[in-house]
Amino acid sequence: MLVKYAIAAASAVLLCGPAAAQNVNANPSYETVRLNSGFTPDPYTVELQSGGSIDASQTANGCRGYIANAPDVRLQFSSGSLPLIISVDASADTTLVINAPDGRWYCDDDSGNGYNPSVRFNSPGTGRYEIWVGTYGGANLQPASLKISELYSE
């Protein structure tokens, strides 16, 4: 397991342990997205407000920012041969918390463009991805664009 943490840290994406508080089965705050590999338009974009009242570090070790209890977006994804890149574009400092189909938690802060997070699954699994967009440093809500892509990374 330690090797997985080292690999995740080296790629600026942290694979986290089990969640403490997030409800992966709650209805998403913004939308449920169903995409098959090769989807268009690419990137698929969801406009939302980042943040919430829950400190993401209480959800999984190594996560950052403040998130809501329910996921912001639920992605039902049918994978193919392409990677899956989930990123955020915002003027505020944002974070990502993702529960992937393998049941593991993936967190990121700032590996995208500027203060934006990005998580890349090189061999994505088919299934449900629960996605939270957090706000770093405080529980205030900020406008953000969640981007789901197979071709572009932030």
Reported for 22-27, long-range contacts at CB under 8 A and 24+ positions apart, including other chains, are 22/54, 22/59, 22/67, 22/69, 22/71, 22/97, 22/99, 22/130, 22/132, 23/69, 23/70, 24/71, 24/99, 24/130, 26/69, 26/70, 26/71, 27/70
Distance CA 72, CA 95 (A): 12
pLDDT at 21 (0 to 100)? 60
Contact 136, 108 (CB under 8 A): no
State pLDDT tens for residues 99-135.
999 999 999 998 877 889 999 999 999 999 999 999 9
DSSP state of 27: P
**Residue 37 covered by a domain:** yes
pLDDT at 4 (0 to 100)? 36
Task: For residue 12, name the pLDDT band (cuts at 50, 70, 90).
Answer: very low
What's the full length of the chain, in residues?
Answer: 154
Q: Which domain holds residue 51?
A: 2-149
Can you tell me the mean pLDDT for 25-31?
A: 95
**Residue 104 covered by a domain:** yes
**Residue 154 covered by a domain:** no
pLDDT at 9 over 50: no
Count of domains observed in the chain = 1
State pLDDT tens for residues 44-73.
999 999 999 999 998 888 899 999 999 999
pLDDT at 1 (0 to 100)? 37
**Residue 107 covered by a domain:** yes
pLDDT at 11 over 80: no
Can you tell me the mean pLDDT for 84-110?
A: 95
CATH code for position 101: 2.60.120.380
Contact 51, 67 (CB under 8 A): yes
Distance CA 4, CA 6 (A): 5
pLDDT at 81 over 60: yes
